[in-house]
Structure 1
């Protein structure tokens, strides 16, 4: 009798397990953790490559693109290294290293190709809702900085993708470009600027919403808002059981996924640790917050039309490079200055104060402590920024806008960034890394994105790396190769090495996106490289 009952229980248990596994709502091809620009970009790319993939995105807030991708939380420059001086450091021998600048410029060109492809298919747009032409400028003060900017300009003249950049150390010329920056300035002050008209302003919050809407309208993605992924467990068949909490109902459910992408901004690190994949060991994070001065005077806003970047203070993170920034946010022209850096132990703007201490573990405590000891200037800089008075912020603004008045500006909290801390393969010590890093499981079943700037601007090239690592076999098929080259015509080539292709692609993208382009002249570039 007991044996019969046991058998009956086994049948019932096995039957219920089989039923759960066969439920199509419980197993999907792809789970995206976080509804930011990275996740929705990858979701759109995968859908173009294989429309049959089932995709579910979980976002802890009540809409997509509200954390790091939000226009108020993101620098929105359309980072292409046209004006960001930290991407062109001066080496000890006095030369300018342009390697990083060219790499980032190439990456932004890849992003524009994918966006113009989607616009041409009527899947996102109109483009002015997320991208607008805005000149990119660098501006420096003092003899040494003027010499540096001139050397940077001459070095970039040898790079095809930077064609069209102008340089001037004449105050009258610079005033014609950026009157706010020069009006009221000491005529004897040594200044210099570069200007290039092919720059853009990008609203990544709007773009994120457009990309998500494209998939939702087509029924190609399920979006669960107010849902937070809390844990992962590896299934015996190599898939992942993803634990998801409904924040409104305070209930938890699970879903099985063949592939998981963790693109949750500052929340990525603790979630990556919960996968327990070997590749996640040793990573840590250092949070940096920020604030903007936002102009409230329409007359002043109307007088400035450029993104003007200066030089960062010694020891400061790249996200803190000062800039007087024209922005288009929700169709309205804005003017921002900053950001002023600060410190918060939160990993997200909507995070908790316990995020940083909770991220420490056996594998990353050493690199995190060593990185802290090696970056004392950064700590000092952040402390100084935290205690800035309104008058000190105004003084910083007046270096870029001499006639600025306090009543014309409001202080607004910007986004939260988590800089990557990792183990140095050479010294086995801890290093603080500025930029982004993709971490993937050896079998390609999990990928996670850590880091910050240039981030969103290079989202498409970063997601290409994810696809190359996690869908390697499929990417090698003729079908996927043909499709990816339709989406990104320069795929597999360097535009900086193929001027004819660069001109063709830039012209096409500019027409589709409504932005400025400058033809690259082969003979001119060859002559400059000869010198």
Structure 2
């Protein structure tokens, strides 16, 4: 065991997109601060941020139907969609600043323009989509969205999906060409490469096993080398826990009262990946459908063009699965050991409330490949089994907590930040829209944890994010400026790729 101890201004736990984003923001705002990153795995962005472990969708609510809900009178509530779109615009502005400042060289290494589409079938769903389109298209954030229920138009938009379709069931889609495919794994690695040039110490194969408050108000981390087993102690004024599914255990070990009565429920994802390049070239969009009744929002089916390792690929899914692990590389005891006296009632209440979800997950786990192919054929009627392989995606830990609206044991499907009252430690929990809104989420972390610095940082924040402190939806002209700026900086002005 080593007795080495070090002291830093900031320690970031986990080398994923959240830590990478927070580290980059802080290094731009406070270049003299000493920042350390500890990652259990051998390289960056290997869990939730990895390109094979998420959908790669730049979540801006352009196509995700679960971000808009139908009211009893048939109208559509777009408030969540507007909020998520505004948050994604913040990410786009920050990425544009990084590229324009030559901190990241080639935007096509991590972001590509790609149409986003919503697709529905059945008379009731078509009526909902039309109402959704009318509500969104009146909002300047969603300028350029098109709607069609004409099969001939849909054949031009989505030839692979329309080919061989024999059903007379009504079908409709919306399309907007300003969507994006984002490789969050690549972006994470680019940001951490930049941080290393700024003397940020990033240590891999280092597991943070414990975290506690010292008598002088600092946080002390017990860090173990996963290869040698040697242990070191590191202290910091501020700690960010960005360890994906592993964050909950570390939050519990911190002992802060804000982390009490919070639990987690792991859900794994699987995709079908196309191995036939001829099929892949017939599709060029992210096409989202509606989740089956009883399915969690993360199980919304979608057929996605992806760019991974500079190669065009095609994925369909996700199919839900269950594993008690909180990370793909985690332990089968993760779920059991996360249950504590302070969250036991909350967890039990969640179990009682989510019997239908449990049943759904069991059904999903039991699916054969042919049953998954049957789901795929709802999107691609003539899909052949030999053209598709099953790929295991990432683990997501859905937050369980007590809420005023849902009562005890309410399952949350968004992204949650838990912060100590004094702002000395923060933890990120939850899932979608996650990575797409990383910049906005990390800005909120800084506002809560470094309120004494925000005023002095404001000029730089506005340089990096021109809309900082402004509501975009109330400033249509600024939206136009931001769209033009980000499209130019991130090289997103190209015409949609023609289908071969």
Range of TM-score over shorter length: over 0.9
Matches within 5 A, 1:134-213: 134-186=114-166, 188-213=168-193
- Higher mean alpha-carbon deviation, 178-187 vs 420-429, is at 420-429
**What is the DSSP-based 3-state SS (H/G/I as helix, E as strand, rest coil) of the residue aligned with 1:73?**
coil
Match of 1:522 in 2: none
Deviation of 1:517 after TM superposition, in Å, equals 9.5
Match of 1:17 in 2: none
Match of 1:353 in 2: 332
Match of 1:505 in 2: 482
**What is the DSSP-based 3-state SS (H/G/I as helix, E as strand, rest coil) of the residue aligned with 1:415?**
strand
* Matched-pair contact (CA < 8 Å) for 2:113–2:494: no
Matches within 5 A, 1:348-497: 348-425=327-404, 428-477=407-456, 480-497=457-474
The unaligned stretches of length 5 or more in structure 1 are 1-19, 519-531
Match of 2:45 in 1: 65
Match of 2:275 in 1: 296
Deviation of 1:428 after TM superposition, in Å, equals 5.0
Match of 2:291 in 1: 312
Deviations 1:326-367 (A, max 9, x none): 000010100000010011100001111000000000111111
Q: Give the CA RMSD over aligned residues.
A: 1.3
Instruction: Tell me the distance in 2 between the aligned counterparts of 1:401 and 1:428.
Output: 41
Query: Is the counterpart of residue 514 in structure 1 residue 494 in structure 2?
Result: no
**What is the DSSP-based 3-state SS (H/G/I as helix, E as strand, rest coil) of the residue aligned with 1:353?**
coil
Match of 2:29 in 1: 49
Instruction: Tell me the distance in 2 between the aligned counterparts of 1:375 and 1:516.
Output: 45
* Matched-pair contact (CA < 8 Å) for 1:58–1:227: yes
**What is the DSSP-based 3-state SS (H/G/I as helix, E as strand, rest coil) of the residue aligned with 1:423?**
strand
* Matched-pair contact (CA < 8 Å) for 1:227–1:247: yes
**What is the DSSP-based 3-state SS (H/G/I as helix, E as strand, rest coil) of the residue aligned with 1:416?**
strand
Deviation of 1:426 after TM superposition, in Å, equals 5.5
Match of 1:521 in 2: none
* Matched-pair contact (CA < 8 Å) for 1:47–1:53: yes
Match of 1:268 in 2: 247
Match of 1:3 in 2: none
* Matched-pair contact (CA < 8 Å) for 1:169–1:191: yes
Match of 1:10 in 2: none
Match of 1:238 in 2: 217
- Higher mean alpha-carbon deviation, 387-396 vs 180-189, is at 180-189
1:225 to 181, 190, 204: 204
Instruction: Tell me the distance in 1 between the aligned counterparts of 2:406 and 2:116.
Output: 38
Instruction: Tell me the distance in 1 between the aligned counterparts of 2:406 and 2:306.
Output: 42
Deviation of 1:245 after TM superposition, in Å, equals 0.6
TM-score (norm 1): 0.91
**How many residues align structurally?**
493
Instruction: Tell me the distance in 2 between the aligned counterparts of 1:144 and 1:300.
Output: 31
Deviation of 1:427 after TM superposition, in Å, equals 6.7
Deviation of 1:284 after TM superposition, in Å, equals 0.3
**What is the DSSP-based 3-state SS (H/G/I as helix, E as strand, rest coil) of the residue aligned with 1:210?**
helix
Deviation of 1:93 after TM superposition, in Å, equals 2.3
* Matched-pair contact (CA < 8 Å) for 1:199–1:516: no
**What is the DSSP-based 3-state SS (H/G/I as helix, E as strand, rest coil) of the residue aligned with 2:220?**
strand
Instruction: Tell me the distance in 2 between the aligned counterparts of 1:265 and 1:490.
Output: 28
Instruction: Tell me the distance in 2 between the aligned counterparts of 1:206 and 1:143.
Output: 41
**What is the DSSP-based 3-state SS (H/G/I as helix, E as strand, rest coil) of the residue aligned with 2:210?**
strand
- Higher mean alpha-carbon deviation, 236-245 vs 452-461, is at 236-245
Q: Which runs of 4+ in 1 moved over 2 A?
A: 425-428
**What is the DSSP-based 3-state SS (H/G/I as helix, E as strand, rest coil) of the residue aligned with 1:249?**
coil
Higher alpha-carbon Rg? 1
Query: Is the counterpart of residue 281 in structure 1 residue 260 in structure 2?
Result: yes
* Matched-pair contact (CA < 8 Å) for 2:161–2:379: yes
Instruction: Tell me the distance in 1 between the aligned counterparts of 2:404 and 2:263.
Output: 15
Matches within 5 A, 1:13-28: 26-28=6-8
Deviations 1:216-264 (A, max 9, x none): 0232x10000001111121112111111010011111101100000000
* Matched-pair contact (CA < 8 Å) for 1:131–1:200: yes
Deviation of 1:376 after TM superposition, in Å, equals 1.6
